Chains A and B, each alone.
Chain A
Amino acid sequence: MDSISRRSILAGGAAIGAAAGLGVAPARAQAWPNRPITMVCPWGAGGGTDQTARIVASILERDLKQPVSVVNRTGGSGVVGHSAIATAAPDGYTIGMITVEITMMHHQGLTDLNPTSYTPLALMNEDPPGVQVPGNSPYKTVKELADAIKAAPAGKFKASGTGQGGIWHLALIGWLGAMGLKPDHVAWVPSNGAAPAMQDLAAGGIDLVTCSVPEARAMIDAGKARSLAIMADQRNPQFKDVPTLNESLGIKYSVGAWRGIAAPKGLPADIQARFVAALKSAYESKEFQDFMAARGFGTKFADPAGFAGFMANGDKMMAEAMKAAGLAKKA
């Protein structure tokens, strides 16, 4: 009796599942989305990526008339979440927020996933790194700092901002490379994120921090640190006084931590188009812009083609920086 009823439940469940699958396939074009959408966030709740994902999800929800729930899938330094997005069914019901790490992790041999493992939908945000020095530092401009770094012996200057091989470390390596210096000319002090690095900067333990300007904001506002430049094409409208590297040094070097929305590979073109339209209007909405501005997050949009090109370019830059620093596995 027991086994029979269990088997029939199993069969019934399978039948429902099959029916649902069949029902979705032909009706997809008109009916999508007809059930809740999951947006995977590879980083923990409360962080910058999570906040960005949640605001995008809440705006998408209104546009698509279906709940969009953000699911944090953390672990494996982002690998778990990124692979959850890539390996989900490409039915338009699972999308995710991918981050700059996707252009870095595969060079380290941590995963096989790379930017081409996804159907790109839209780039939503980019935060370029700044060059921060202590408030009482003798260097008033980034040029003075750059000259001092060049003149100093290797390892004399200490920098921090994130862990070894993290995005801000690679940003520093790229900048040093653009000045014709070796990656270890400035010693990297690994830290657990930007906040402790900024604290150590204020306490005089290190000479510069290459985290994003919003991350350094609290210390800058308190007068304990100054931002000398940002590694971007243009100035940040919120921090108008901070020049770009190009302006002050004539170095065309830009890099940044970015976040974008992507779907598993093989997403039908019609669904992709619908998503892109929704994401574009979400990006342009006042709500999104205000939210990002309030948190000091940079905004940058790119459509699928632009996003793919952006990622390919970033991937190449990261490969070079990581190879130069001896961080890449396949040297």
Chain B
Amino acid sequence: MVMALDVLVAILASAVYGLVVGSLPGLSATMATALLVPVTFYLSPIAAVATIITASAMAIFSGDIPGCLMRIPGTPASAAYTDEAYAMTKKGQAETALGICLWFSALGGIAGTLSLILMAPALAEVALSFSTFEYFWLAILGLMCATLVARTSPIKAIAAMLLGLLISCIGIENPAGTPRFTFGSTDLLGGIEVIPALVGVFALAEVMRALTQKDIPPIPHRRLGSILKGQWALTKAYPKQQVRGNIVGIIIGVLPGAGADMAAWVSYAMAKRFSKEPEKFGTGHPEGLIEAGASNNASLASGWVPSLLFAIPGDTITAIAIGVLYMKGLNPGPTLFTEKASSMYALYIIFILANIIMIPLGIMMIRASSHILRVPRALVMPVILVFCAVGSFATGGNNLFAVLVVAAFGLVGFTMEKNGYPVAAMVLGIVMGTMVEQSFVTSLIKSDGSILPFLSRPISAILALCTFIALFWPLFAWLRRYKASFDAASPAR
């Protein structure tokens, strides 16, 4: 299935696309994926999924390039170790730094894929016996996770999530089949489509942000030596860091709402904490780079685990991917692994393939980067704007209303981000709102109105317990911090 010509062409084209978009500062991997959706619309299901997998993996890697060469991260996922990579470049080790990013990204991606291959089918077996009661807790747990992992105030994260849930209420697609918050508009009857909303939040908001920010200086031309030289030695020198990065990346990928950028931050911090020579961090030391680079690409693949099994997105990229899966008749769920097993095998192969071709294509990209990074954003951004309009129009059923949705969500996303409200939490709310409500209402109908099965079924009870822990964790953390700051501020010391 993977060897079909259209799939191979799709992989190659989206690889180049992902590398270019990811390397342009300000254009994130999520945005690259969001803008791909209208194109996937016209591809075969496997080719469509292949483009998303490949483009996102490439974009996450290639975000490292401008970070390394210019100290400007191409994607937020590279921000954690941009300083480190740039310090290496200043020391004249640009090749090694870029090589680390590439080599350990590819290895991390493959490790993440292995986790997907091993974890997903096993979990699918368990998930087949899940009823709406379990799905309800899973959905709630997913939403709670999104608020826990946000790098900002958990209260604002909850607010953003609730806003997303409220948006998901709009329309008639609810268990009661009753129009809600449509204000008499026919267009709102069908609800807010996820894809235009995501294009608005991730692509349009990015254009808006770029408009207010200063243009970056052109990259100095630089002759680069061999990229892969010495990578094998580094792999042998830092095996622990790499494995730890992979594992942390995989875990963070599986958690709903937390993606590659979170994985990179956590892994970099871990590398520093457990390092034998933490004083070298920030001066161009490869250790943190290895761990974080291995981590963000690993999270990318494992983010697909909850997405494919439960339609709960592991990160913002898979939030988009879920929309595409539904569009292509590959509805997420445990049956995907039993009834459409061959499609899943194809997916694994695509993941591996994408991470293998990342190495040669990445080297070419690094060599071409000084040219690509010189394309003025004054010309790129306007074209992206029109892409937002046409793309959402095409995926939104050729309905111009989708263009308005993009405009509105661009505004919302931009404002939220500026004020510390995590956009990813809202996206998760939009994607999962219907699931929460549907599973709750149908569970109640099945149990004749009794709440008991939500707590008495064994798996349900475990999930419920996890949810309550997640629910009260922010409060606990806040109290502890409050106490700590109080202690620190008290004159008794």
Whether the complex brings A and B within 8 Å at their CB atoms is answered yes
Interfacial residues, chain A to chain B (CB-CB below 8 A): 44-46, 71-77, 79-81, 83, 110-111, 155, 158, 163-166, 187-192, 195-196, 199-200, 203, 205-206, 218, 327
What is the CA–CA distance of A164 and B398 in the complex, to the nearest angstrom?
27
24 contacts between A and B (CB under 8 A): A44-B327, A46-B329, A71-B398, A72-B397, A74-B190, A74-B399, A75-B189, A75-B190, A75-B193, A76-B189, A76-B190, A77-B189, A110-B172, A163-B177, A164-B176, A164-B177, A164-B178, A166-B177, A189-B442, A189-B446, A196-B331, A203-B131, A205-B446, A206-B446
Q: List the B side residues contacting A110 at CB < 8 Å.
A: 172, 179, 189
Residues B397 and A77 in contact, CB atoms below 8 Å apart: no
How far apart are A290's CB and chain B's nearest CB, in angstroms? Answer: 21
Which of A75, A83, A205 has the most CB atoms of chain B within a 10 A radius of its CB? A75
B265 within 8 A of A: no
How far apart are A80's CB and chain B's nearest CB, in angstroms? Answer: 6
Which of A74, A81, A155 has the most CB atoms of chain B within a 10 A radius of its CB? A74
Q: List the A side residues contacting B446 at CB < 8 Å.
A: 158, 189, 205-206
B401 within 8 A of A: yes
How far apart are A251's CB and chain B's nearest CB, in angstroms? Answer: 26
How far apart are A159's CB and chain B's nearest CB, in angstroms? Answer: 10
What is the CA–CA distance of A206 and B186 in the complex, to the nearest angstrom?
33
Residues B186 and A73 in contact, CB atoms below 8 Å apart: no
> Provided the pairs A80-B399, A81-B397 are in contact, do residues A218 and B190 lie with their beta carbons within 8 angstroms?
no
> Provided the pairs A45-B327, A75-B397 are in contact, do residues A190 and B441 lie with their beta carbons within 8 angstroms?
yes
Residues A76 and B173 in contact, CB atoms below 8 Å apart: no
B387 within 8 A of A: no
B181 within 8 A of A: no
B335 within 8 A of A: yes
A-contact 0/1 string along B113-142, CB 8 Å cutoff: 000000000000000110110000000000
Q: Is the interface of A mostly helix, strand, loop or mixed?
A: loop
Scan residues 442-482 of chain B and give those whose CB is less than 8 A from a CB of chain A: 442, 445-446, 448
Closest 4 CB pairs of A and B: A74-B397, A164-B177, A76-B189, A165-B177
Residues A75 and B177 in contact, CB atoms below 8 Å apart: no
What is the CA–CA distance of A164 and B434 in the complex, to the nearest angstrom?
14
Q: What number of B residues sit within 8 Å (CB to CB) of A?
A: 38
Residues A73 and B128 in contact, CB atoms below 8 Å apart: no
How far apart are A326's CB and chain B's nearest CB, in angstroms? Answer: 11
How far apart are B414's CB and chain A's nearest CB, in angstroms? Answer: 25
Residues B131 and A79 in contact, CB atoms below 8 Å apart: no
Residues B190 and A77 in contact, CB atoms below 8 Å apart: yes
Residues B399 and A158 in contact, CB atoms below 8 Å apart: no
Interface contacts (Cβ under 8 Å), in number, total: 95
B282 within 8 A of A: no
Scan residues 187-226 of chain B and give those whose CB is less than 8 A from a CB of chain A: 187-190, 193
Residues B189 and A46 in contact, CB atoms below 8 Å apart: no
Q: List the A side residues contacting B22 at CB < 8 Å.
A: none
Residues B186 and A79 in contact, CB atoms below 8 Å apart: yes
What is the CA–CA distance of A46 and B176 in the complex, to the nearest angstrom?
26
> Provided the pairs A46-B328, A46-B329, A73-B399 are in contact, do residues A155 and B186 lie with their beta carbons within 8 angstroms?
no
B420 within 8 A of A: no
Residues A218 and B339 in contact, CB atoms below 8 Å apart: yes
A-contact 0/1 string along B271-291, CB 8 Å cutoff: 000000000000000000000
Residues A77 and B173 in contact, CB atoms below 8 Å apart: yes
How far apart are B404's CB and chain A's nearest CB, in angstroms? Answer: 12
What is the CA–CA distance of A189 and B445 in the complex, to the nearest angstrom?
6
How far apart are B429's CB and chain A's nearest CB, in angstroms? Answer: 18
By beta carbon, the residue of chain B nearest A190 is B175
How far apart are A183's CB and chain B's nearest CB, in angstroms? Answer: 14
What is the CA–CA distance of A76 and B190 in the complex, to the nearest angstrom?
4
How far apart are B135's CB and chain A's nearest CB, in angstroms? Answer: 10
Residues A46 and B397 in contact, CB atoms below 8 Å apart: no
Scan residues 331-385 of chain B and give those whose CB is less than 8 A from a CB of chain A: 331, 333, 335, 339
Q: List the B side residues contacting A195 at CB < 8 Å.
A: 331
Q: List the A side residues contacting B179 at CB < 8 Å.
A: 110
How far apart are A218's CB and chain B's nearest CB, in angstroms? Answer: 7
How far apart are B460's CB and chain A's nearest CB, in angstroms? Answer: 13
Residues B175 and A164 in contact, CB atoms below 8 Å apart: yes
Contact among B176, B335, B396 with A74 in the assembled complex (CB-CB below 8 Å): B396
How far apart are A207's CB and chain B's nearest CB, in angstroms? Answer: 10
What is the CA–CA distance of A164 and B327 in the complex, to the nearest angstrom?
22
Contact among A73, A83, A192, A327 with B397 in the assembled complex (CB-CB below 8 Å): A73
Contact among A76, A199, A205 with B186 in the assembled complex (CB-CB below 8 Å): A76
Q: List the B side residues contacting A73 at CB < 8 Å.
A: 397-399
Residues A83 and B186 in contact, CB atoms below 8 Å apart: yes
Contact among B131, B175, B333 with A163 in the assembled complex (CB-CB below 8 Å): B175
B153 within 8 A of A: no
Residues A80 and B175 in contact, CB atoms below 8 Å apart: no
Q: List the B side residues contacting A74 at CB < 8 Å.
A: 190, 396-399
B438 within 8 A of A: yes
How far apart are A76's CB and chain B's nearest CB, in angstroms? Answer: 4
Q: List the A side residues contacting B41 at CB < 8 Å.
A: 45
What is the CA–CA distance of A71 and B190 in the complex, to the nearest angstrom?
18
Q: List the A side residues contacting B441 at CB < 8 Å.
A: 190
Q: List the B side residues contacting A80 at CB < 8 Å.
A: 186-187, 190, 397, 399, 401
Q: List the A side residues contacting B399 at CB < 8 Å.
A: 73-75, 80
What is the CA–CA distance of A103 and B131 in the complex, to the nearest angstrom?
33
Residues B333 and A200 in contact, CB atoms below 8 Å apart: no
What is the CA–CA distance of A110 and B180 in the complex, to the nearest angstrom?
12
What is the CA–CA distance of A80 and B441 in the complex, to the nearest angstrom?
28
How far apart are B222's CB and chain A's nearest CB, in angstroms? Answer: 45
Residues B132 and A205 in contact, CB atoms below 8 Å apart: yes
Q: List the A side residues contacting B339 at CB < 8 Å.
A: 218
Residues B397 and A203 in contact, CB atoms below 8 Å apart: no
Scan residues 144-202 of chain B and give those whose CB is less than 8 A from a CB of chain A: 171-173, 175-179, 186-190, 193
By beta carbon, the residue of chain B nearest A72 is B397
Q: List the A side residues contacting B187 at CB < 8 Å.
A: 75-76, 80
